[in-house]
Structure 1
Amino acid sequence: MDTGVEHAPIGVLEASHDGVVSDVNETAATMLDVDPDAATGEPIGAVVPASVDASVPEAFETALETPVSAEEFYPELDRWLSVDISPTSDAVYVYLRDVTDERRRTQRLESLQSDLHRLTIGNELIADVLGELVRASTREEIARSICQELGETDIYEFAWVGERAVGSDEIVRRAAAGTTGRTLERIDTALDGNVALPESRAIERGEPTVIRSLGENGSVPERIRRAAFADGLGSLLAVPLTYGSSVYGIVGVYAAERDAFSERERKSFGTVGKMAGFAINATRNRSLLSADRVVELTFQLSDPAAPFVTTVAETNARLDVAGAIPQGEHLLCYVDAETATPTAEEIAAVLAEHEAVVETRTITDRDADGSIEVRQRTETPLGHLLSQGGTVRSATFGGDDNRVVVDLPPSEDVRRIADAITRRYDAAVLAKRERRPDERSTREFRNALTDRLTDRQEDALRTAFFAAYFESPRGSSAAEVADALGITGPTLLHHLRAGQRKLLEELFEVTDRPSAVDRP
């Protein structure tokens, strides 16, 4: 090999037509990590390591008459090489160029473009899911909407939604859509046998769980791993459907690629899970409002997990929960206290010591009674009852008679709800009866008001009422009520005025007048 070729900036190998190397220049020796002297006389396959398609040794297996070119990845070298094989009458020359940096730049660019494309589609998809959730009126529609929007798309293979059975760790599949193949069959079998799935862990944690490689993750049951491999599935995102501390179910989204779900996608799907949980909770509440009959359960409660139970035991006071307003992870309660000693202020201080209580505020404090605002976490008996779609008719605590009366729609599995509460807490069901809701005219009036008020207006009015904002003198200022709701004072006053106007219009039956057009 002449001097110019010996020091050329590209790798050059000289070989015979039968593939025996006769010379290697410095660049090729460095690129292939070989000793030039040792390489001389060796077959080409021993000098050039194996690539993905083994183009170099294959080229020498037949009579070379025309040039051959290839660009391949060489695992042993961890490099991409561009190879040009040029035959002459006397020898064959192999020219090598290291194109690793170019390849990786291209791959990064393609990856970024793919991520952008996927993100764009994903955002549009999630917007569609949220839109469908707003329109869904039943839990079945919610499950079906999620599956259809996620499973019947180009970026995911299929999706399924399972609902958590009340009072049990069981998951019941409600809907599925997409190319489910054998994997969904194996999932159904696992659910029937109460076998733990990755989706089950997402429910336990209450947050999205990702399986980056279905075929290699030991936490996935073997039969599902095999089915996923056969169906060409690479990864899974499991998203719990949550409302506050309650987890209603799960959506499992399966993709063909390994590690298909970016951190941004996981966060976006977390929002979908919360919105779906909110929608499920709303359907349960609507079911109760529209029911012709309700099931009334009366519980005797003795569990120290309930702040009111421990407080009355310590203070000998009587506490009546006048109102309970769910606020995501918290439950805002307004409590009437009947006691001469200790005072409402002192009772509030005792309540504040309970681990489930976030904060308390004394609204009124008179000689024999008072009222207290209590913000507690939802991991309490009252919180769990409300999260199951019930409404608390009364909750009275004092002495040995700590009773909670709750209404549930007849469509709910009342026995399971009762069992869930009595297994989790020191509680007993004292009575169960089915009855008609309050007098129909009253119910119709309430429903008419509820239909006219927005959720924010209803929350503002309810909170202000129980916080004694409308009393004279006021038990709470506008700033205190706004702080309880987590909004500004002007926003509170806007919601109160709008809500009061709608209530008065309904009361004085002016809804048919042009001036009473429903305003925000």
Structure 2
Amino acid sequence: MTLAEPDSPTLTADRYDRLLEAAETYREALVVRLCGEVGVRPAELARLSSDDIDRVGTDPPRYLLRIPPEESESNAGLEAPAERTRTAYLPTEIRRELERYVRSNGIGDADRIFSVTPRRLQMLVADVADRAGERANDESLSSVSSSDLRRYFARSSLVDHEIDPRVVKTAGGWQSFEALEAYLSEPTDEAIVNAFETVEDGTRSTENTAVRDDDGLVKSILAATDRCALVRLDADGYVERWNRSAASTLGFDAGEIVGTHASAFYADDESALESKLSEATSESPVEDDSWFVRRDGSRFRATELIVPLREGPEDGGFGLLVHDISTYHDRLESERSRNDRLEGFDAVARRFRAVAQGLLSASTHDEVETECCRALVDGPAYRYAWIDRTGRTGKRTNWRTSSAISPGGADRLRPDTWGDGAATADANRGSDTGGLDGESASNSSGRSVRSDGRPDDAGGPSETPPAGSDGEPPAERTVVTDVAGRVDEEYVEGTLARVCVSYGDTVYGTLSVVTDREDAFDRNELDWLETIGRQVGYAIAAVRRRNLLLSDTVVELEFVCRDEQSFFVDASAQLDCRFEIDSFVPVSESTQLYYVTLQDGSPATVFELAESDPGIGDCRLIETYEDGWRVEFIVEGSCPTLTLTEYGVTVLESVVENGEATIAAECAGGADLRTIVDGLRSVFPDSELAGKREVERTVQTAAEFRNGLADRLTDRQESALRAAYFGGYYDWPRESTAEEVADAMGVSSPTLHNHLRKGQHELLRTFFDAGSE
């Protein structure tokens, strides 16, 4: 069998790659490669099955293709066995592609791999050639046939890979060496000298073989992954070569991307890519991480390597390697975000510990506020912090403690108008919006959470407390809002959170902090901030009470409250009765027991009115006098006397009649009266300070207390108490019973109990009613 010199131009390796890239289906690519890299004819392809693949090596694995004869050949009685007419070498990569094709199409071992006619396979090659010629604008490429592919196999095997012609003759199915001469060019003088150079030095050049092996390795790697793309660009950055790896990674087919500027799959603008190409041209290869865009519009992070290709005196364009690192990048960003959150949590936790330590050293109301603000801003967690004390109707006063920002500067970040007069809420959480002071600041969309510090449940608007007349949410409500403004010649943007500073039902003010951290003030952080607000409130109450106890001088105060929010004020006005509060006992932060003497009114009428008041939990009659009754009230809410007590004031007497409560009290000499009065008015606006007087504190010694008690007790009462005390009657477990003590005193058990009860009553009355004689 002989072949003539091909009439069509030689199919070079570059043109062959262009042809292979034009294959749009797996089958097309396999047919082209079997013809061009294995040397199989279309008629032979139509007879191939998986059984014809023969493994002849194991380490490394190597394969041969046993091409079966035509039926007419096996019937002609040829010397070669009928089932094996010739053997072709099957590269490992193509064998793997064949196996994948067979497996994905469910082809049996004995079934034909390509179940079409030889003519249809020739037409398939012609379709791929037409497509390649159209994309490359090369008419000669469109005329490539399966015969041209066999010629390419012969020439690349003999010339490029320097394979023994006898092996090529056998593997390609040629019957004589004369048929192979057409694929060998006439050697030049230089080629002859170079060929025999190995004879002179006794070596064999393997440089070309190594380069070809490297090219094959790169192709194998790219074919095995969909995360790497190798693209060739011309000198202006337009796509010149686009292989299957690029199509798999970026999603573009060669037909729609060849001739297009590479910026089509870059997320950055074209100027950024031009800058990188210029740098690669003038200096060295450029390696960078960039965002790329797939055909479907999705973005992914990839490492790019741009290498200038110099094939002659002029630059030959660029090689672009794109390695998809999205998985690594996403994991890295996730870890970075997690690390940032942990650092934020740590910074916040450190500030909260610092606040707790600072409160322990504070000895006045002012120091408590100052230490709190200083500790909060002494680190990266918060940029500014300030406390506004509660004023009348819950509004802030001009009294403000701040840190890292001046009191006036805080006004530029603190929204003066939180809404249009009423707090609003969106579908998922409360939302308070408003502007900032003047032209120096602006407030973006605000957001708020419920008073418990947690976002409102999705599915409906939140129930928010009514706002003040200027639209500001009440102090009891935790609020988070975005703020921006100019502070000390610096424009600041961040997030503000405001929590209540309170103890029990008394609100001392609000604590505001500003931070520029992203995703600040989540549920946990707001819980922590609210805890700080309660800690500061507790510390304020504690230092005020301590200062009252330790003060050498006290200020006697007289308050008048006409506010109908107080049950006793309202009841005295409606029922024309008189209340005198004898004592009140705290049960919890929001519940107190009040023991009240009622005059000029019926307990039943008072109880009926109390049933409709949400601040009265229960009430009962304790004792009846000739001119009145002693009544117990469970008060579940605020009361003027309780509010004063939580500001460090000791209530001495409280009388309510004719819709007016007159409260006599005393506080430490150094106490800030303005804060006390503002605190009372913030809850009961219709209140006033009617008078004050500074006096020396009178101190009752233990001896004076004992002498006063001795005057109240009879001899029998004192004897009974002494005998019971020293006899172990009050120990637990008791050392003596009442009967044993009575026997020792020579009295009956009922008589002893009578003396003990009256003696204990006088003892307790002396202790609790210090002013009584």
| TM-score normalised per structure 1 | 0.68
Q: Measure how far apart 1:376 and its partner are.
A: 2.7
Q: Quick one: distance in 2 between partners of 1:153 and 1:281?
A: 27
Q: Measure how far apart 1:126 and its partner are.
A: 1.2
Q: Quick one: distance in 1 between partners of 2:475 and 2:681?
A: 23
The corresponding residue for 2:622 is: 364
The corresponding residue for 2:557 is: 296
Equivalent residue letter for 1:58: S
The corresponding residue for 1:404 is: 663
The corresponding residue for 1:210 is: 480
The corresponding residue for 1:172 is: 399
Spell out, residue by residue over 1:47-95, the C-alpha distance to the aligned partner (whole angstroms, 9 max, x if none). Answer: 42317x9764322124167432212345874432222223333442222
Shift in CA distance, 245/298, structure 1 to aligned 2, threshold 3 Å: closer
The corresponding residue for 1:148 is: 374
The corresponding residue for 1:85 is: 306
The corresponding residue for 1:471 is: none
Q: How does 1:75-474 map to 2 (within 5 A)?
A: 77-89=298-310, 90-165=316-391, 169-177=396-404, 186-187=409-410, 204-211=474-481, 213-215=482-484, 222-223=485-486, 227-229=490-492, 234-289=494-549, 290=551, 292-299=553-560, 301-313=561-573, 317-325=577-585, 330-338=590-598, 342-343=602-603, 347-357=606-616, 359-362=617-620, 364-366=622-624, 369-378=629-638, 380-399=639-658, 402-412=661-671, 414=673, 418=677, 425=684, 427=686, 429=688, 431-436=690-695, 439-441=698-700
* Greater C-alpha Rg: 2
The corresponding residue for 2:102 is: none
Q: Quick one: distance in 2 between partners of 1:335 and 1:14?
A: 94
Query: Is the CA contact 2:596–2:631 (under 8 Å) kept in the aligned structure 1?
Result: yes
**Higher RCO, 1 vs 2 (CA within 8 Å, ≥6 residues apart):** 1
Query: Is the CA contact 2:303–2:325 (under 8 Å) kept in the aligned structure 1?
Result: yes
Shift in CA distance, 139/401, structure 1 to aligned 2, threshold 3 Å: closer
Percentage identity across paired residues of the two chains = 19
The corresponding residue for 1:21 is: 239
Q: Measure how far apart 1:412 and its partner are.
A: 4.5
Equivalent residue letter for 1:84: L
| TM-score normalised per structure 2 | 0.48
Shift in CA distance, 278/313, structure 1 to aligned 2, threshold 3 Å: same
Shift in CA distance, 351/434, structure 1 to aligned 2, threshold 3 Å: same
Equivalent residue letter for 1:246: T
Q: Quick one: distance in 2 between partners of 1:268 and 1:160?
A: 17
Shift in CA distance, 411/269, structure 1 to aligned 2, threshold 3 Å: same
Equivalent residue letter for 2:476: G
Q: Quick one: distance in 1 between partners of 2:488 and 2:266?
A: 38
Q: Quick one: distance in 2 between partners of 1:264 and 1:7?
A: 48
RMSD (Å), alpha carbons: 4.4
Q: Quick one: distance in 2 between partners of 1:426 and 1:171?
A: 18
Q: Measure how far apart 1:353 and its partner are.
A: 2.1
Q: Quick one: distance in 2 between partners of 1:340 and 1:143?
A: 46
Alignment of 1:39 with 2:257, yes or no, is: yes
Equivalent residue letter for 1:22: E
Shift in CA distance, 48/174, structure 1 to aligned 2, threshold 3 Å: closer
Q: Measure how far apart 1:272 and its partner are.
A: 0.7
Shift in CA distance, 110/56, structure 1 to aligned 2, threshold 3 Å: same
Q: Quick one: distance in 2 between partners of 1:339 and 1:104?
A: 77
Q: Quick one: distance in 2 between partners of 1:92 and 1:366?
A: 106
Q: Measure how far apart 1:322 and its partner are.
A: 2.0
Secondary structure, in 3 states, of the residue corresponding to 1:330? coil
Q: Quick one: distance in 2 between partners of 1:408 and 1:159?
A: 29
Shift in CA distance, 387/341, structure 1 to aligned 2, threshold 3 Å: closer
Query: Is the CA contact 1:243–1:328 (under 8 Å) kept in the aligned structure 2?
Result: no
Equivalent residue letter for 2:242: V
Shift in CA distance, 389/69, structure 1 to aligned 2, threshold 3 Å: same
Query: Is the CA contact 1:160–1:251 (under 8 Å) kept in the aligned structure 2?
Result: yes
Unpaired runs of 5+ in structure 2? 1-17, 22-218, 311-315, 418-435, 438-442, 449-469, 706-759, 768-773
Secondary structure, in 3 states, of the residue corresponding to 2:379? coil
Spell out, residue by residue over 1:212-241, the C-alpha distance to the aligned partner (whole angstroms, 9 max, x if none). Answer: x544xxxxxx44598343xxx543333332
Shift in CA distance, 444/64, structure 1 to aligned 2, threshold 3 Å: farther
Equivalent residue letter for 1:395: S
Q: Measure how far apart 1:332 and its partner are.
A: 0.9
Q: Quick one: distance in 2 between partners of 1:60 and 1:291?
A: 84
Shift in CA distance, 110/421, structure 1 to aligned 2, threshold 3 Å: closer
Secondary structure, in 3 states, of the residue corresponding to 2:267? coil
Q: How does 1:488-503 map to 2 (within 5 A)?
A: none
Q: Quick one: distance in 2 between partners of 1:22 and 1:377?
A: 81
Q: Measure how far apart 1:43 and its partner are.
A: 2.6
Query: Is the CA contact 2:377–2:385 (under 8 Å) kept in the aligned structure 1?
Result: yes
Q: Measure how far apart 1:277 and its partner are.
A: 1.4
Secondary structure, in 3 states, of the residue corresponding to 1:11? strand
Deviates more, 1:196-205 or 1:157-166: 196-205
Q: Quick one: distance in 2 between partners of 1:17 and 1:288?
A: 87
Secondary structure, in 3 states, of the residue corresponding to 2:568? helix
Query: Is the CA contact 1:32–1:48 (under 8 Å) kept in the aligned structure 2?
Result: no
Q: Quick one: distance in 1 between partners of 2:696 and 2:525?
A: 44
Spell out, residue by residue over 1:448-507, the C-alpha distance to the aligned partner (whole angstroms, 9 max, x if none). Answer: xxxxxxxxxxxxxxxxxxxxxxxxxxxxxxxxxxxxxxxxxxxxxxxxxxxx9xx99xx9
Equivalent residue letter for 1:86: V
Query: Is the CA contact 1:203–1:249 (under 8 Å) kept in the aligned structure 2?
Result: no
Q: Quick one: distance in 1 between partners of 2:516 and 2:384?
A: 10
Q: Quick one: distance in 2 between partners of 1:122 and 1:443?
A: 49
Query: Is the CA contact 1:163–1:250 (under 8 Å) kept in the aligned structure 2?
Result: yes
Equivalent residue letter for 1:172: W
Equivalent residue letter for 1:227: E
The corresponding residue for 2:274 is: 57
